[in-house]
């Protein structure tokens, strides 16, 4: 069972679309303690600095550096980077076990968006030569493909039909219901088209 929470899922960050940016500002406007889930990319420090700049009244905790704030946070941000490393890090700290109990607002970008779904689907690219499907964190009752391009459909067409392809500059807001923002494709549409 998925706990009801407000979740903003983006392909390449909320600043890429004014509507996404407005939603992220609304979600975290009263946040005093935001826990940041790092993505283990070479840009991680830049991402942390951007988040601290955007939410100056918040104390941003990096899960890599301090994992004592699980029960005291009022916001959760999953960064881009390497989804398999994010999942390994969360499991090694036991954080995956308590995520279901945390109902604070959540924002995820890129790789962070992949890990919060039912399944973490990693399509081949320069970092991952083969399709990889891992168990996601199940913070939302669907899976996503970020940086979506129609060429990725060949990898996704035989997977679960509850997948959304999110183009860059787009996203999904979920609060028990799905609101698509920008260019988002429900892969069930692709599977239906193939069956006709």
Give 48-68 pLDDT, tens digit per residue: 788 778 877 676 666 666 656
Give the Cα-Cα-Cα angle 90, 51, 105 (nearest 5 degrees).
60
- Residue 95, in any domain of the structure: yes
* pLDDT over 80 (residue 14): yes
Residue 57 class from Cβ within 10 Å (0-12 exposed, 13-18 middle, 19+ buried)?
exposed
Q: What is the pLDDT of residue 91?
A: 87
Poorest-confidence range of 55-64, 122-131, 179-188?
Answer: 55-64
Q: For residue 137, name the pLDDT band (cuts at 50, 70, 90).
A: very high
Q: What is the pLDDT of residue 4?
A: 62
The answer to whether 148 and 12 have CB atoms below 8 angstroms apart is no
Overall domain count for the chain: 1
pTM of this structure:
0.87
Q: What is the pLDDT of residue 65?
A: 65
Higher pLDDT, 100 or 169: 169
Q: What is the pLDDT of residue 61?
A: 64
Q: For residue 192, name the pLDDT band (cuts at 50, 70, 90).
A: very low
Q: What is the pLDDT of residue 148?
A: 94
Dihedral pair phi/psi, residue 3, rounded to 5°: -70, 140
- Residue 1, in any domain of the structure: no
* pLDDT over 50 (residue 196): no
Task: In whole angstroms, give the CA distance from residue 3 to residue 54.
Answer: 27
Domain with 115 in it: what CATH number? 3.40.50.880
- Residue 55, in any domain of the structure: yes
The answer to whether 165 and 29 have CB atoms below 8 angstroms apart is no
Residue 168 belongs to what domain range? 7-195
Q: What is the pLDDT of residue 30?
A: 85
E-strand ranges in 38-103 read 59-62, 75-78
Q: What is the pLDDT of residue 195?
A: 36
Q: What is the pLDDT of residue 70?
A: 63
Across the chain, what does the average pLDDT equal?
A: 84
- Residue 2, in any domain of the structure: no
* pLDDT over 90 (residue 84): yes
Dihedral pair phi/psi, residue 148, rounded to 5°: -65, 140
Give the Cα-Cα-Cα angle 112, 22, 188 (nearest 5 degrees).
50
- Residue 19, in any domain of the structure: yes
* pLDDT over 90 (residue 22): yes
């Amino acid at each position: 069972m998925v706990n009801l929470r407000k979740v903003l899922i983006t392909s390449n960050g909320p600043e890429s679309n004014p509507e996404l940016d407005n939603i992220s500002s609304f979600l975290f406007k009263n946040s005093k303690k935001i826990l940041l889930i790092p993505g283990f990319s070479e840009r991680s420090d830049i991402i942390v600095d951007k988040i601290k700049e955007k939410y100056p009244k918040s104390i941003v905790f990096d899960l890599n550096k301090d994992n004592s704030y699980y029960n005291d946070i009022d916001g959760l941000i999953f960064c881009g980077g390497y989804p398999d490393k994010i999942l390994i890090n969360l499991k090694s700290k036991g954080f995956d076990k308590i995520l279901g109990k945390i109902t604070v607002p959540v924002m995820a970008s890129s790789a962070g968006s992949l890990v919060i779904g039912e399944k973490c689907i990693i399509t081949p690219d320069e970092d991952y030569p083969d399709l990889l499907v891992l168990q996601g964190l199940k913070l939302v009752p669907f899976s996503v493909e970020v940086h979506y391009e129609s060429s990725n459909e060949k990898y996704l067409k035989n997977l679960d039909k509850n997948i959304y392809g999110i183009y860059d500059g787009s996203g999904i807001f979920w609060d028990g219901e799905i609101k698509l923002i920008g260019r988002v494709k429900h892969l069930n549409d692709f599977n239906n088209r193939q069956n006709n």
